[in-house]
Amino acid sequence: MKFVLFCNLPYAFSILKPLEKEILKRRYNCVWYIPKNIENLFPYSNSTYTTNINDIKNYKSDAIFVPGNEVPHFLQGIKVQIFHGLAGEKKGHFRIRDYFDLYLTQGPYFTNRFQELASKHKNFKVKETGWCKLDDLYTITMQTKEYKLSLLKQYDTKHIILYSPTFSPSLTSGVKLLNTIEKLSNHNDILVIIKFHDKMDTKIKKKYHQLGSKNLIISDEKDITPLLQISDLMISDTSSVVYEFILLDKPVITLNSISENINWLDINDETRMLDATLNIISGKDTYKNNRQSTIKQYHPYNDGKSAKRMIDATLEYEEQYGIPVTRKLPLLRKFKIYKKYGLN
């Protein structure tokens, strides 16, 4: 079997890496597709990759794993949607764009919706597997534990707060929470780590870089997983990373979240964020039982074997339906794909 790990943005690297490990473990072949403009960000020096879409076409893969919304229809292989987050309430998450043969879902909340859509469209299959990116979430390495202790010692603080806002202009808390983050990052007992989305407005990022607070780190790590593991509380908005943090059974505060299933503290007045955060840090966590409901619906798999299930599901699809050479698309979408990727 030959697999393609199809990237368009840097966040896809950490999503796809567990699949590469599982593929190579089974002694199959795989190659990454990385756009030229992010090649310098690709962190895995021992991995095989190409920036040329023609190489992928000539590779004639059996399956293509895609944590994005589109994939060239002219590439051979089972086109597998594996998603880039857990925020089902975001615009377009349940939109069927006709690019994919197989949807691998993270938990019942997603599975049920996509099964309904599969019955309607009749051109793709759905299998619940869990999300491969989270395979490493539940195992905190000694290196990560030591990293947390070193940060607490370096900044002489007791708690780590992770601020991870979304980039969407209509949903981001980046502007409204600037003053709150500044105050928190000047608190003696708190270290604030900020992890911006790859698409965050550069003007907003610049304002945070100019804060100069004593207990503030703006992280440029590509993989947010270690930051989730070392943090005691998360502040966010309508970002899919909220669900990843909740899966660790730790408290979250959001500003104006539009989630359909809010089982954490969400406030609609940014002036209340500081006091709410300090209350939770002091031990007043009243949402612990609620988090279990989110875990059950969004991602009940904590065994670290989602990548394995995803490969198994793809092999089962191949055995039952074969390997499609191309994917039928409306002419307008074909034109869009040819324009974006082209062929030489």
Q: Block means of pLDDT (10 residues each) for the chain, length 344 residues?
A: 95 95 97 96 95 96 96 95 82 84 96 96 96 92 96 97 94 95 97 94 96 94 91 94 92 92 93 96 89 91 96 98 87 89 71
In the block, tokens 């002489």 appear at 156
Q: Residue 248's pLDDT is what?
A: 94
d(CA 266, CA 243): 13
Q: Residue 330's pLDDT is what?
A: 87
Q: Residue 223's pLDDT is what?
A: 83
Question: CA separation (Å) from 238 to 2, 14, 77, 86, 312?
Answer: 36, 21, 34, 10, 32
* Cβ atoms of 297 and 261 closer than 8 Å: yes
Q: Residue 322's pLDDT is what?
A: 96
What are the structural domains, with CATH classification, of the chain?
2-135+302-341 (3.40.50.11820), 139-298 (3.40.50.12580)
pTM of the prediction? 0.81
